[in-house]
Amino acid sequence: MVYDVAIIGAGVTGAMTARELSRYELSVCVIEKESDVAMGASKANSGIVHAGFDAKSGTLKARFNVEGSLMMEKITKELGVKYKRNGSMVLAFREEERDVLLELYERGIRNGVGGLEIINGERIRELEENVSDKALYALHAKTGAIVCPYELTIAAMGHAMDNGVELFLESRVLDISCDNGAFEVETTKGTIKARYIINAAGLYADKISRMVGDDSFEITPRKGEYLLLDKELCGLVGHTIFKVPTKMGKGVLVSPTVDGNILLGPTSEDIYDKEDTQTTRVGIEKIINSAAECVKNIPFGSVITSFTGLRATTKNGDFLITAPKPNFLNLAGIDSPGLTAAPAIAVHVSNMLKDMGLELVEKKDYTSTRKIYQVEKSRYNKMVCRCEKVSEGKIIEAIHTNPKAITVDAIKRRTRSGMGRCQGGFCMPSVVSILARELGIDVCEVRKSGGDSRIVVGKKE
Amino acid sequence: MELVCIVCPVSCNLEVVMEDGKIKEIKGAGCKRGVKYAEEETICPKRTLTTTIRTTDNRMVPVRSDKPLPKDRVFEVMEKINKVKCVPPVRIGDIILEKVYEDVNIIATRNIG
Amino acid sequence: MQTKDLVIIGGGPAGMAAAVSAYGKGIRDLLIIERDESLGGILQQCIHNGFGLHMFKEELTGPEYAWRYEKMILDLGIPFKLNSMVVDISKDKVITYVNEEEGEVKIKAKAIILAMGCRERSRGALNIPGTRPAGIYTAGTAQKFINMMGLMVGRQVVILGSGDIGLIMARRMTLEGASVKAVCEIMPYSSGLARNIVQCLDDFNIPLKLGHTVTKIHGKDRLEGVTISKVDENRRPIPGTEEYTECDTLLLSVGLIPENELTKGMGIELDGSTRGAVVDQNRETSLEGVFSCGNVLHVHDLVDYVSEEAYIAGEAAARYIKGERVKNNNISVTASDNVSYVVPQRITSDKEKVKIYFRTKNELDNVQIIVSDCENVVYKAKRRKTKPGEMEYVTMAEDVLNNIKGNEISLKVIGE
């Protein structure tokens, strides 16, 4: 068959676009090289719905940030994912930094951001008792919010699939050719034909674009390391706390997550290797030092995990949304505030496709809510993960609900089983057994994530 | 020769004084069992073996040797154990494998219904 | 709502012994709630021998030790719920648990014994740099895979941390055909028992690398290797000492943490050193009628001591329920020089002798243990040697307790 649209990349941009297109009478597929959706930057970022004062006025970033921020609450409600408007603060530690805050404030007004104010030290401490005594001023953005980035991506893709979108996992795109008005996308799992292609390949968007003869841009991975603190520290801060931004980004933040942990990070380092998601000693130390400047009394002994995300950055710093060839769209360089912008970019993409001649007819049988797999009620009372209180029912649900979890990590991202303070120490053996049973595979075939990431290597004779 | 006693968690530091290839004196033992251990460890070190055996319906039964085995026979006995499966039900103390080495038996250490 | 005189949270060695002892003191309206599918807790996967020398004067395996108590529970007819997870306990002692058959159930208890045990520290808590491949497990998780499920987690193994579970797993993996390349310990000494170093490492020529740690994880999908580095006296890796070791499995045996989430939820005072509740000699917490024992109170080296402590808690809970518990004193016990913690942290009666358990911070020889009140030394004892990995205790007799001046005593240790 020939799909109307093939989206390459199942990150938040790809997933949101798929969901947007699933409203119309179109055949859509998403091609993803990893074993799950949200495996790139969408899995490892700060989870912030930015208010929109950061991006330079007039850029795509500014436009889609503000639009996306306004859409986010409604979308999260529709998808049934957590969203919290916790507000954010940008801290100034020196008098001269107050000018930077003013600049941000004015830019925010220009970008159309509501709910901004500049507050003094006293007011800062009133709102956040643990913020450093050295913070003199802050830009307080009441519309700043938080979501869980992979929960949002999973839900968006699931909803798209419920409305007919097909997802091909572990299918790396090898080449793209054009034949008789349709593209042929050659993947590691076979060839997929489509009339339109949307390149949402994140770090590899440059590589995909080159496959159709466009070498006009390059993606540089910008490495960001994070530390996650135990839920017992919930309440350390309520707002997302930033320092005044530098050229390399918004710096290390201290923020609550929607799940009640405290997130510290990211570092910011341009690197060459697009697969280098290692955490480093230097990075971890940088986060600790930087976070401690903003917030007092952070008990770093309560770190439960560390991780690294790679942001896809372009040279000019703005989102790159182009059509280098007829019927081929690039959504590239979607780094921060990409998560916030994704819903707005998705709408923009559907408009672009329409302008390119794709007919958009609304589906009659479109379902506005996700289809959740029904599990026997009693299974929800059988606890598997004690730290996060996840039941067997929730795990079975994750294995059979779109997009279906096929690995231990995929279950973790959907249910939080193994994401708590013991990091899967207790529940992993049970999760492995449940996965094997529900997928009808041998326990030795159960994987942690993609590739040959098997959990157990054999059976005792 | 210096040894750490492994009879109990106190882990006494033992000293075995040898003369003409024979034990002359054992120092440092906190109890009689330590003396015996030092003698045995010098002449023929022995260990209790603990492992598991699969049941015919794919469950795991923990087992142990009912007496210590010579240390250098442990892998030999493991191989024998790994060749068998046992049929449930199993009661704690049941002999699963008889005389795996001289008079040493392998017994179940848990009930499997 | 259902009511019970006594509810015991956890059916491991602590919970079972506490139940048996409360029953022995006349409590009949009691219930054990266990989250796993059998009683016995972690003992069920500890198939090695070495348990019970104090309690039963013979050497048992974990499952055998558990069975001794399970049999007592069955013979006495003490009721228990399996596969049941306690999700909340309120300050007024209403316990909420869930299981498949009953759904959510609430029980109001007169007294509660907390016996939830502990969990292992994970990789995240260590911040080891590198990738996040499959093949990194805590020693206990690997133990469950192998001993309970018959599944091999790997073939070429490095173990980080020389705690007892790590040592036991080094032997276990070797017996099952894996090659254990090294056990790395960041400290200059092992926290495991000397007998385990002998029979789990030395017997199989497995090197114990003291003063070494894993500084990097390699491999994308499955672990491919680790970098091991020497550390300085401040436990910082020394640049230039890195050595790459190929392996498909890294086991972590880097400490146990009492699992006190329920305890915290009840607002019970916790001790930052033990990470368990602050208790008196009865193992009663800051919340009246709530007791704590076993590894949820502080991490023990030997299950025998867990049982012993559980007897204390069980008997005290029985006295509390029957209105016979005496509190006529309030002396706080604090850890001083070279002592990392003491249990109990309070003494609330001078009617009975009290054993004070403690751990030292360092390995010391020719040790003097000194207990002082605000004026004088009230008690002295000697030990040939103390190690952080081995719990010590002193017994304070009634006459010593009676002569304490003020309301605080401190325990210190002097050694070489």
Q: Which of A244, A54, A69 is nearest to A147 (CA)?
A: A69
pLDDT at C389: 80
**pLDDT above 90: percentage of residues in chain B:** 60
Picking from A33, A264, A306, A434 by the largest number of C CB atoms within 10 A of its own CB, the best residue to mutate is A306
Choose the closest CB to C155 out of A304, A453, A457.
Answer: A457
Identify whether residues C127 and C246 lie together within a single domain.
yes
pLDDT tens-digit readout, A267-317:
988 998 988 888 888 999 999 999 999 999 899 888 888 899 999 999 989
Domain assignment present for residue B113? The answer is no
Task: Assign residue C385 the CATH number of its domain.
Answer: 2.60.40
Contacts across the B-C interface (CB distance below 8 Å):
74
Q: Which of A455, A368, A440, A453 is nearest to A404 (CA)?
A: A440
pLDDT at A423: 84
Is the pLDDT reported for residue C351 higher than 90? no
Kindly determine whether residue A460 and residue B83, on different chains, have CB atoms separated by under 8 Å: no
The Cα C68–Cα A177 span in angstroms is: 71
Put simply, whether B9 touches C (Cβ < 8 Å) is: yes
Contacts of B63 in chain C (CB under 8 A): 47
CB atoms within 10 A of CB A77: 10
pLDDT at B4: 86
- The two tokens of residue A152 are 């949002």
**What's the mean per-residue pLDDT of chain A?**
94
Put simply, whether B24 touches C (Cβ < 8 Å) is: no
Domain range for residue B29?
A: 2-43
Contacts of C198 in chain B (CB under 8 A): 3-4, 6
Q: Are A240 and A48 in contact (CB under 8 A)?
A: yes
Kindly determine whether residue A460 and residue B54, on different chains, have CB atoms separated by under 8 Å: yes
Mean pLDDT of C108-133: 90
Task: Assign residue B55 the CATH number of its domain.
Answer: 3.10.530.10
pLDDT at C307: 97
Last residue of a domain, one of C204, C233, C254: C254
Choice among A179-193, A255-269, B91-105, C121-135 with the minimum mean pLDDT: C121-135
Q: Which of A230, A227, A209 is nearest to A218 (CA)?
A: A209
Last residue of a domain, one of C276, C294, C325: C325
Identify whether residues C245 and C260 lie together within a single domain.
no
Q: How far is C271 from chain B (nearest CA, A)?
A: 27
- The two tokens of residue A232 are 């017992």
pLDDT tens-digit readout, A374-411:
999 999 999 999 888 999 999 999 999 999 999 999 99
The Cα C44–Cα C66 span in angstroms is: 7
Q: How far is C194 from chain B (nearest CA, A)?
A: 6
pLDDT tens-digit readout, A27-42:
999 999 999 999 999 9
The Cα A384–Cα A390 span in angstroms is: 6
Identify whether residues C134 and C58 lie together within a single domain.
no
pLDDT at C221: 94
What residue of A is the nearest CA neighbor of C103? A381
Is the pLDDT reported for residue C70 higher than 80? yes
Identify whether residues B62 and B80 lie together within a single domain.
yes
pLDDT at C230: 97
Choose the closest CB to C98 out of A381, A421, A454.
Answer: A381
Domain assignment present for residue B18? The answer is yes
Does residue A403 have a cis bond before it (omega within 30 degrees)? yes
Q: Are C127 and A306 in contact (CB under 8 A)?
A: yes
Question: What is the fold of A377-445?
Answer: Arc Repressor Mutant, subunit A (1.10.10)
Choice among A72-81, C10-19, C371-380 with the minimum mean pLDDT: C371-380
pLDDT at C141: 96
Contacts of C44 in chain B (CB under 8 A): 110
If interface means Cβ-Cβ distance under 8 Å, which residues of chain B face chain A? 52, 54, 60, 82-83
Whole-angstrom CA distances from A161 to A26, A171, C198 are 12, 17, 58
Kindly determine whether residue C141 and residue A421, on different chains, have CB atoms separated by under 8 Å: no
Kindly determine whether residue C176 and residue A460, on different chains, have CB atoms separated by under 8 Å: yes
Identify whether residues C382 and C281 lie together within a single domain.
no
Distance of CA A112 to the CA centre of its chain: 24
Identify whether residues C235 and C276 lie together within a single domain.
no
Q: How far is C59 from chain A (nearest CA, A)?
A: 26
Kindly determine whether residue B4 and residue C150, on different chains, have CB atoms separated by under 8 Å: no
pLDDT at C106: 98
Kindly determine whether residue A460 and residue B82, on different chains, have CB atoms separated by under 8 Å: yes
pLDDT tens-digit readout, B31-79:
888 888 888 888 889 999 999 999 999 999 999 999 999 999 999 999 9
Q: Give the ipTM of the model, two decimals please.
A: 0.92
Identify whether residues C357 and C378 lie together within a single domain.
yes
Identify whether residues C272 and C380 lie together within a single domain.
no
Identify whether residues C238 and C128 lie together within a single domain.
yes
Contacts of A277 in chain C (CB under 8 A): 131-132
Does residue C344 have a cis bond before it (omega within 30 degrees)? yes
Task: Assign residue C11 the CATH number of its domain.
Answer: 3.50.50.60
Q: Are B106 and B100 in contact (CB under 8 A)?
A: yes
Choose the closest CB to C134 out of A277, A303, A454.
Answer: A454
- In this prediction, residue B8 has a pLDDT band, given cuts at 50, 70 and 90, of confident
Kindly determine whether residue A460 and residue C150, on different chains, have CB atoms separated by under 8 Å: yes
Q: How far is A71 from chain B (nearest CA, A)?
A: 53
Kindly determine whether residue A461 and residue B52, on different chains, have CB atoms separated by under 8 Å: no
pLDDT at A281: 86
What residue of C is the nearest CA neighbor of A301? C125
- In this prediction, residue A72 has a pLDDT band, given cuts at 50, 70 and 90, of very high
The Cα A449–Cα A38 span in angstroms is: 12
The total domain count for chain C is: 3
Identify whether residues C187 and C89 lie together within a single domain.
no
Which superfamily does CATH assign the domain made up of A88-142+220-310 to?
D-Amino Acid Oxidase, subunit A, domain 2 (3.30.9.10)
Identify whether residues B55 and B96 lie together within a single domain.
yes
Is the pLDDT reported for residue C358 higher than 90? yes
Contacts of A461 in chain B (CB under 8 A): 54, 82-83
Identify whether residues C260 and C289 lie together within a single domain.
yes
Report the top-level CATH class of A1-82+147-219+314-371: alpha beta
pLDDT at B7: 80
Pairing assessment for the beta strands C94-99 and C103-114 based on DSSP bridges: antiparallel
Touching subunits of C (3+ CB pairs, under 8 Å) are: A, B
Greater model confidence, B32 or C225: C225
Identify whether residues B77 and B59 lie together within a single domain.
yes
**What's the mean per-residue pLDDT of chain C?**
94
Contacts of A385 in chain C (CB under 8 A): none
Identify whether residues C195 and C232 lie together within a single domain.
yes
Identify whether residues B58 and B89 lie together within a single domain.
yes
Q: How far is B21 from chain C (nearest CA, A)?
A: 22
Put simply, whether B71 touches C (Cβ < 8 Å) is: yes
Contacts of C215 in chain A (CB under 8 A): 281
What residue of A is the nearest CA neighbor of B80? A461
Residue in this structure with the two tokens 């231990």, named with its chain if needed: A408
- In this prediction, residue C326 has a pLDDT band, given cuts at 50, 70 and 90, of confident
Identify whether residues B64 and B104 lie together within a single domain.
yes
Is the pLDDT reported for residue C161 higher than 80? yes
- In this prediction, residue B20 has a pLDDT band, given cuts at 50, 70 and 90, of confident
Domain range for residue C388?
A: 329-416
The residues of A carrying an active-site annotation are 50
Check residue A112 and report its DSSP letter: T
Kindly determine whether residue C248 and residue A457, on different chains, have CB atoms separated by under 8 Å: yes
- The two tokens of residue C208 are 């114990």
The Cα A348–Cα A328 span in angstroms is: 14
The total domain count for chain B is: 2
Mean pLDDT of A153-157: 98
Q: How far is A252 from chain C (nearest CA, A)?
A: 18
Give residue C285's identity as a one-letter amino acid code. T
Domain assignment present for residue B38? The answer is yes
Kindly determine whether residue A460 and residue B52, on different chains, have CB atoms separated by under 8 Å: yes
Kindly determine whether residue A428 and residue C141, on different chains, have CB atoms separated by under 8 Å: yes
Last residue of a domain, one of C267, C296, C325: C325
Identify whether residues B61 and B103 lie together within a single domain.
yes
Q: How far is C99 from chain A (nearest CA, A)?
A: 5
Mean pLDDT of C61-69: 98
pLDDT at C149: 96
Touching subunits of B (3+ CB pairs, under 8 Å) are: A, C
Is the pLDDT reported for residue C122 higher than 80? yes
Kindly determine whether residue B83 and residue A461, on different chains, have CB atoms separated by under 8 Å: yes
Kindly determine whether residue C119 and residue A381, on different chains, have CB atoms separated by under 8 Å: no
- In this prediction, residue A420 has a pLDDT band, given cuts at 50, 70 and 90, of confident
Choice among A149-158, A355-364, B7-16, C293-302 with the minimum mean pLDDT: B7-16
- In this prediction, residue C253 has a pLDDT band, given cuts at 50, 70 and 90, of very high
The Cα A132–Cα C403 span in angstroms is: 48
Domain ranges of chain A: 1-82+147-219+314-371, 88-142+220-310, 377-445
Contacts of C53 in chain B (CB under 8 A): 8-9
Identify whether residues B59 and B103 lie together within a single domain.
yes
Domain assignment present for residue B10? The answer is yes
Q: Which residues contact B105 (CB under 8 A, 6 or more apart)?
A: B65, B66, B95, B96, B97, B98, B99
pLDDT at A311: 94
Burial of C300 (0-12, 13-18, 19+ CB in 10 A): buried
**pLDDT above 70: percentage of residues in chain A:** 100
Identify whether residues C152 and C114 lie together within a single domain.
no
What residue of B is the nearest CA neighbor of C151? B60
